[in-house]
Amino acid sequence: MITTILTLATLSLLCSCLSHFKSSINTNSHCHFISTSKLQGGLFCVNFEGVIFIKISEMGVNSNRVEDLPYHETTIRIPTEAMPPLEIHRVCLPPKQTTLQKLKHRLGEIFFPDNPLHRFKNQTWFTKLLLGLQFFFPIFQWGPEYNVKLLKSDVISGLTIASLAIPQGISYAKLASLPPIVGLYSSFVPPLIYSVLGSSRHLAVGPVSIASLVMGSMLSEAVSSTEEPILYLKLAFTATCFAGLFQASLGLLRLGFIIDFLSKATLIGFMAGASVIVILQQLKGLLGIVHFTTKMQFFSVMSSIINHRGEWSWQTIVMGVIFLVFLFTTRHISKTKPKLFWVAAAAPLTSVIISTVLVFFLSSKNPHISIIGHLPKGLNPPSSNMLYFNGPFLALAIKTGIITGILSLTEGVAVGRTFAALKNYQVDGNKEMMAIGLMNICGSFSSCYVTTGSFSRSAVNYNAGAKTVVSNIIMASAVLVTLLFLMPLFYYTPNVILAAIIITAVSGLIDYQAACRLWKVDKLDFLACMCSFFGVLFISVPLGLAIAVGVSIFKILLHVTRPNTMVLGNIPRTQTFQNLNRYREALRIPSFLILAVEAPIYFANTTYLQERILRWVREEEERIKASNESTLKCIILEMTAVTAIDTSGTDMMYELRKMLDKRSLQLVLANPVGTVMEKLQQSKTLESFGLNGVYLTVGEAVADISSAWKAQP
The pLDDT, as a whole number, for residue 92 is 77
The pLDDT, as a whole number, for residue 50 is 40
What is the rounded distance in angstroms from the CA atom of residue 219 to the CA atom of residue 176?
Answer: 9
Other C-beta atoms closer than 10 Å to the C-beta of 626 total 8
- Give the model confidence (pLDDT) of 667-688 as tens digits: 999 999 988 999 998 898 988 8
Write the single-letter amino acid at 279: I
Residue 34 reports pLDDT greater than 50: no
Residue 636 CA, chain-centre distance (Å), reads 35
Residue 103 CA, chain-centre distance (Å), reads 27
The pLDDT, as a whole number, for residue 85 is 58
Other C-beta atoms closer than 10 Å to the C-beta of 524 total 15
109-113, 331-335, 440-444: segment of lowest average pLDDT: 109-113
Average model confidence (pLDDT) for the chain?
Answer: 83
The pLDDT, as a whole number, for residue 20 is 45
- Give the model confidence (pLDDT) of 376-388 as tens digits: 999 999 999 999 9
Could you tell me the CA-to-CA distances from 434 to 114, 245, 288, 325, 550 in Å, in that order? 17, 9, 42, 40, 27
More confident residue, 603 or 85: 603
339-353, 486-500, 536-550: segment of lowest average pLDDT: 536-550
Strand 577-579 and strand 565-570: the pairing is antiparallel
3-state secondary structure of 64: coil
495 pLDDT tier (thresholds 50, 70, 90): confident
Check residue 380 and report its DSSP letter. Answer: P
DSSP H or E segment with residue 695: strand 694-695
What is the per-residue burial (b if ≥16 Cβ within 10 Å, else e) of 319-329?
bbebbbebbbe
Count the alpha carbons within 13 Å of 688 in the hemisphere toward its beta carbon.
19
Quote the percentage of the chain above a pLDDT of 70. 87
Long-range pairs for 678-681: beta carbons < 8 A, 24 or more residues apart? 678/93, 678/94, 679/645, 679/646, 679/647, 679/649, 679/650, 680/645, 680/650, 680/653, 681/93
Most confident of 24-28, 38-42, 474-478, 529-533: 474-478
More confident residue, 265 or 92: 265
> How many residues are given for the chain?
713
Angle at CA 204, nearest 5°, toward 200 and 196? Answer: 55
More confident residue, 524 or 519: 519
318-327, 418-427, 607-616, 634-643: segment of lowest average pLDDT: 418-427
pTM for the predicted model, two decimal places = 0.74
* pLDDT, mean of residues 279-288: 84
Q: CB of 454 within 8 A of CB of 415? A: yes
Residue 554 reports pLDDT greater than 80: yes
Write the single-letter amino acid at 234: K
Could you tell me the CA-to-CA distances from 56 to 2, 39, 64, 83, 148 in Å, in that order? 11, 9, 15, 20, 63
617 pLDDT tier (thresholds 50, 70, 90): very high
3-state secondary structure of 172: helix
The pLDDT, as a whole number, for residue 286 is 85
Q: What is the CA radius of gyration of the chain?
A: 35
* pLDDT, mean of residues 418-427: 85
The pLDDT, as a whole number, for residue 41 is 36
What is the rounded distance in angstroms from the CA atom of residue 325 to the CA atom of residue 602?
Answer: 57
* pLDDT, mean of residues 19-43: 38
More confident residue, 67 or 523: 523
Count the alpha carbons within 13 Å of 648 in the hemisphere toward its beta carbon.
11
Beta carbons within 8 Å of 126's beta carbon, 6+ residues apart: none
